């Protein structure tokens, strides 16, 4: 299976998913849903992935990526068509569950496919290109959905997004002969325990680093609007600050494939943790938009550049035949962070204010980066 075919399919399906997230929340608001109901609908995107991502990874290790890729894309298509056929509030709960589950299966399978292509020393570059694909579609999806909602309405926007998901499914079915049907390692059939993945000190460190950086990402995207409003910034200015963060992620992933062979994986992760920790510690003390934009850009470089390194190391260090399971564990950590961290940060912020939350996260990353550097 060609790497560039995986990248194309990822862009198409993730564009549909990213656009669907925006359309889903705005349509629920249009249907007079309460903030709590909107939160429940959006949380369903991550609920089943959080519960079943490890099992999905093991399933992919056992049968290969062909059927999971097709099943994930088909589930996304079905979920979007359900929104087109029955555009009602109660339908959105099922749409969210189906789309989140389908994209989770596709996401793990696509990462497994990229990890299995090429030599081990090429994986960091390949995962950098995959991360760039996610950044591209993550930018295009919400923009396409936003313009489409204003121009053609919610129902037709769901139909437009279905076209992208259907194109993914059709390509997979037409090119199914290019996708390896079986796992490459016979040990994928052996009985597995989750604790085996944590037996390796290297794997433990990678999972810890992944969890900390994911928490930092979620903290930034959750707290910046609150911090911006507290210091009197307008909504457009807050949007520009968040846009600086996204632009940095795209920029670093665009450059990373060209320089990845010159930078060690651990050195990159240590640098990302130290830079992110220092930036978060300073962020709540800054009250001017240009400086906040600069800090957001630094955060985007650190967090955006670390993710391909983490994926490469997970796949390289995972036990033979368990690359999909390792990706599933990381997906579990991401979904736990995306589901639980906003609640935790909100509770701490309400009790202590946002400055202690920023400082605590910053100190944790600085301490982790320093400990990792010494090792």
Q: What confidence tens digit (pLDDT) does each residue in 308-351 have?
A: 788 777 777 777 777 777 878 877 777 776 666 656 766 676 67
CA angle 334, 223, 229 (to 5 degrees): 155
Q: Please state the separation of Cα 97 from the chain's center in Å.
A: 17
Percentages of the chain per state (helix, strand, coil), in multiples of 5: 90, 0, 10
The CA-based angle 205-210-216, given to 5 degrees, is 130
CA distance 184 to 288: 54
Residue (of 185, 122, 181) closest to 320 by Cα position: 185
Q: How many residues does the chain have?
A: 375
Q: What one-character-per-residue DSSP string does 131-148 give?
A: HHHHHHHHHHHHHHHHHH
Counting residues of the chain whose pLDDT is more than 70, the rounded percentage is 87
Of 166, 142, 137, 12, which Cα lies nearest the Cα of 78?
A: 166
Q: Which of 206, 363, 356 is nearest to 274 (CA)?
A: 363
CB 341 within 8 A of CB 361: no
| Residue partners of 113: CB distance under 8 A and separation at least 6 | 1, 6, 65, 69, 179
pLDDT tens for each residue of 104-127: 899 988 988 888 887 777 777 888
* C-alpha 99: how far from chain center: 14
Q: How far apart are CA 220 and CA 304, in angstroms?
A: 13
Task: Give the span between the Cα atoms of 185 and 323, in whole angstroms.
Answer: 10
pLDDT score for 99 = 93
At residue 194, the pLDDT reads 66
Both structure tokens of 249: 């992620």
pLDDT at 21 over 90: no
Q: What is the DSSP string of 170-211?
A: HHHHHTGGGS--S-S-GGGGS---HHHHTSSHHHHHHHHHHH
Q: DSSP string of 342-356? A: HHHHHHHHHHH-HHH
Does the structure show a pLDDT above 90 at 9?
Answer: yes
Looking at domain 196-374, its CATH superfamily turns out to be MFS general substrate transporter like domains (1.20.1250.20)
Q: Indicate where the chain has its CATH 1.20.1250.20 domain(s).
A: 3-181, 196-374
Looking at residue 345, its pLDDT comes to: 65
Burial 329-362 (b: 16+ CB within 10 A, else e): bbbbbbbbbbbebbeebeeebeeeebeebbbebb
Residue reference for tokens 């470089």: 301
Rounded (5°) CA angle 325-329-330? 120
CA dist., res. 28 & res. 87, Å (int): 10
Task: Show the tokens assigned to 356.
Answer: 């202690």
* Alpha-carbon distances of 76 from 67, 165, 182, 281, rounded to whole Å: 14, 7, 24, 39
First to last CA, the chain: 38
What is the average per-residue pLDDT within 213-218? 82
- Choices 1.10.10.60, 3.40.1160.10, 1.20.1250.20, 1.10.10.10: CATH for 3-181: 1.20.1250.20
Out of 116-120, 282-286, 363-367, which region has the weakest mean confidence (pLDDT)?
116-120
Which range has highest mean pLDDT (56-65, 160-169, 251-260, 350-359)? 160-169
pTM of the model: 0.77
**Higher per-residue pLDDT: 108 or 223:** 108
């Amino acid at each position: 299976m060609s790497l560039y075919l995986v990248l194309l399919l990822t862009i198409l399906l993730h564009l549909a998913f990213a656009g669907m997230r925006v359309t889903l929340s705005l349509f629920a608001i249009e249907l007079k849903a309460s903030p709590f109901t909107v939160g429940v609908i959006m949380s369903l995107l991550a609920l089943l992935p959080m519960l079943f991502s490890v099992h999905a990874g093991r399933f992919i290790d056992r049968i290969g990526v062909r059927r999971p890729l097709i099943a994930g894309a088909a589930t996304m298509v079905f979920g979007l068509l359900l929104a087109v056929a029955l555009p009602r509030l109660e339908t959105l709960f099922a749409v969210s569950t189906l789309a989140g589950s389908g994209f989770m299966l596709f996401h793990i399978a696509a990462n497994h496919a990229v990890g299995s292509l090429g030599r081990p020393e090429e994986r960091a570059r390949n995962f950098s290109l995959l991360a760039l694909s996610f950044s591209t579609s993550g930018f295009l999806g919400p923009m396409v959905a936003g313009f489409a909602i204003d121009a053609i309405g919610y129902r037709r926007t769901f139909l437009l997004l279905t076209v992208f998901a259907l194109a993914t499914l059709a390509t997979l079915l037409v090119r199914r002969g290019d996708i390896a049907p079986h796992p490459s390692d016979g040990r994928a059939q052996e009985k597995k325990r989750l604790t085996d993945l944590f037996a390796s000190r290297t794997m433990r460190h990678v999972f810890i680093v992944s969890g900390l950086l994911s928490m930092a990402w979620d903290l930034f995207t959750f707290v910046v609007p609150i911090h911006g409003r507290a210091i009197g910034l307008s909504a457009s200015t807050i949007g520009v600050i968040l846009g600086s963060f996204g632009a940095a992620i795209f920029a670093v992933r665009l450059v990373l494939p060209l320089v990845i062979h010159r930078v060690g994986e651990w050195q990159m992760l240590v640098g990302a943790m130290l830079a992110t920790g220092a930036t978060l510690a300073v962020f709540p003390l800054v009250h001017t938009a240009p400086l906040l934009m600069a800090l957001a850009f630094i955060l985007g470089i650190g967090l955006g550049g670390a993710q391909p390194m983490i994926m490469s190391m997970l796949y390289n260090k995972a036990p033979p035949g368990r690359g999909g399971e390792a990706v599933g564990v990381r997906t579990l950590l991401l979904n736990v962070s995306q589901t639980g961290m906003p609640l935790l940060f909100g509770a701490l912020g309400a009790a202590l204010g946002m400055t202690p939350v920023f400082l605590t996260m910053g100190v944790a990353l600085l301490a982790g980066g320093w400990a990792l550097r010494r090792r």
